Amino acid sequence: MNGSAIERIVIVGGGTAGWMTAAALAHRLQGLPVSITLVESEEIGTVGVGEATVPHIRFFNARLGIDEADFMRRTSATFKLGIEFRNWGRKGDSYIHPFGVFGEEIEGVAFHHLWARFARAGGRDAVEAFSLPVLAARMDRFAHPDSDPESLLSTYSYAYQFDAGLYAAYLRAYAEARGVRRVEGRITAALQHAETGFVDSVVLESGERVAGELFVDCSGFRGLLIEQALHAGYEDWSHWLPCDRAVAVPCRSEAALSPYTRATALDAGWAWRIPLQHRVGNGHVYCSSHISDEAARDALLGQIEGEPIAEPRLLRFTTGRRRKQWDRNVVAIGLAAGFLEPLESTSIHLIQLAIGRLLDHWPDRDWDPFCAREYNRLMDLEYERVRDFLILHYHATERDDTPFWRQVRTMAVPESLAHRLETFRKRGVVVNYRDGMFLDASWIAVYLGQRVIPEAGDPRSEALSDAGLMLRLAAMRDDYARMAAQLPTQAAFLARIGANAS
């Protein structure tokens, strides 16, 4: 250990971000002379939502050595194969963005070109007929993927839907068992070094002071340290993503246990449905300049499937990101770092990514500015790329039925997204980058699902005859359908692996 190593880490906040950070640091720094303290306030509480994830969460859990069945039992979790989008391209449309690929390439030509040619030649099968996870999701079926690349079961991945409160509690037990000290109490002040502005300690209502060298700000939207103390600044993206409120309510589950999240576009926003084992999480994300809180709540209550089991909760937010997610000795993670609406369940992944990057750029008390600089560069890229992907959902629509949809359909989008859309629309090319969590298959799912069909394709796809192409695709489609029908229902699968919540 070098002489200026960090010895005291303080995590401010005990929501999903705080406990994920605490668990991961406790695991990775095990055996080192470092103390980790987490301060949280029951009185303030957590945001209490955030229950749908993306597949990367499995690697986070696996790194910590968490057993899947145990974790699913204790967080009342279900499997997730993707997200169903209803009413996005047009009212009445439905498509699923799966964690998996569509079809197989033929002689080096990507499947979406073949499908587009097939559709232009009069082929009737929707693109989802060529995706095992979509077919399985529509039938409420699930099984673990297979690593054998020859198997159709290797064409998808999966994530979870879980109870956020139970997950935080699960990680808290994990972290505390590994030496993390939890301090209950409301922080009233941050004491900073007079010259540098570095945070020296936080002061609780009780008068207790918690001092440290590295502070991880997981205090949620307020950004207690990163903004209130350090004034890192906030870049507002609401001109592209104008939804600024949400109302959330859990309800009893009345339908089969579906292995996917649903996002239904409404008049001035959209509603989520996240099925857990013991209940369904619902919420309505909306734009307050287009709909009142009351109407938004009524719209939500009007479309949930079962009896509400709590009072609806209202949440306010501004989409955007902190100008510096790492400033001096404070690293903001979770809602304190920025907010992107949960349309693609990205926030928990961004937390996970931030923790990984922090460990990659682990500082010492000499605070080499390059650690923060590179960390911020990488996190900025991730946020921008998720942002573009979310804007795509709003912008690639034909909806004209409300002022909200007219606004997002006709607004100017970031140059990076405009180029992507144009390139796909004209020639079916998926523009993608090294950094960014969404791979080509995700972009293709949303483009095609929202009726952005390439006007022209890869000239190499013309090498196959129409009849030959029809035959190959029919065979592929039959394979997917046969395989999907063989999978067990999710309920049966949960029971089989012993993951039923008590």
Ligand X SMILES: Cc1cc2nc3c(=O)[nH]c(=O)nc-3n(C[C@H](O)[C@H](O)[C@H](O)COP(=O)(O)OP(=O)(O)OC[C@H]3O[C@@H](n4cnc5c(N)ncnc54)[C@H](O)[C@@H]3O)c2cc1C
- The binding site for another protein (CB under 8 A) comprises 1-2, 5-6, 28-29, 31-32, 108, 359-364, 366, 368, 370-371, 373-374, 419, 422-423, 425-427, 429, 431, 433-434, 456-460, 462-463
Write down how long the chain is: 502
The distance of closest approach from Cβ of residue 185 to ligand X in the complex, given in angstroms and rounded to an integer, is 7
List CB contacts of 444: < 8 A, sequence separation 6 or more: 102, 112, 430
Tell how strand 330-332 and strand 214-217 pair up. parallel
- Count the neighbouring beta carbons within 10 Å of the beta carbon of residue 301: 15
**CB 187 to ligand X: min, Å:** 4
14 is a site residue for ligand X (CB under 6 A): yes
Closest CA to 263 of 62, 449, 407, 486: 449
* Annotation marks residue 80 as catalytic: yes
Instruction: Decide: is 13 part of the binding site for ligand X (CB under 6 A).
Output: yes
The yes or no reply on residue 16 touching ligand X (CB under 6 A) is yes
DSSP state of 180: P
Binding partner selected for residue 41 from ligand X, another protein, none, CB under the kind-specific 5 to 8 Å limit: ligand X
Selection from 53, 387, 336, 367 nearest residue 197 by Cα? 367
Partner whose footprint covers residue 315, from another protein, ligand X, none (CB < 5 to 8 Å by kind): ligand X
209 counts as binding ligand X under rule CB under 6 A: no
The DSSP result for 204-232, as a single string, is ETTS-EEE-SEEEE--GGG-IIIIIIT--
Residue 46 contact partner, candidates another protein, ligand X, none, CB within 5 to 8 A by sort of partner: ligand X
At closest approach, how far in Å is the CB of 6 from another protein? 7
Among 9, 10, 15, 97, binds ligand X (CB under 6 A): 15
With CB under 6 A as the contact rule, the residue among 6, 9, 287, 335 that binds ligand X is 335
Burial of 212 (0-12, 13-18, 19+ CB in 10 A): buried
CA angle 52, 55, 56 (to 5 degrees): 105
Contact 315/231 with Cβ under 8 angstroms?
no
DSSP states along 400-436: -SSHHHHHHHHS---HHHHHHHHHHHHH------SS-
User: Which residues from 426-455 bind ligand X, rule CB under 6 A?
Assistant: none
Name which of 130, 111, 80 is nearest 440 in CA terms: 111
Least Å distance, CB 331 to another protein, is 14
List 224, 241, 392, 473, residue binding ligand X (CB under 6 A):
224
Residues 177-196 that bind ligand X (CB under 6 A): 186-187
Per-residue contact string for residues 33-52; x = within reach of ligand X by CB under 6 A: ------xxx--xxxx-xxxx
Catalytic residues: 80
Binding site for ligand X (CB under 6 A): 13-18, 39-41, 44-47, 49-53, 164, 186-187, 218-220, 222, 224, 246, 248, 283, 315, 317, 334-336, 342, 345, 347-348
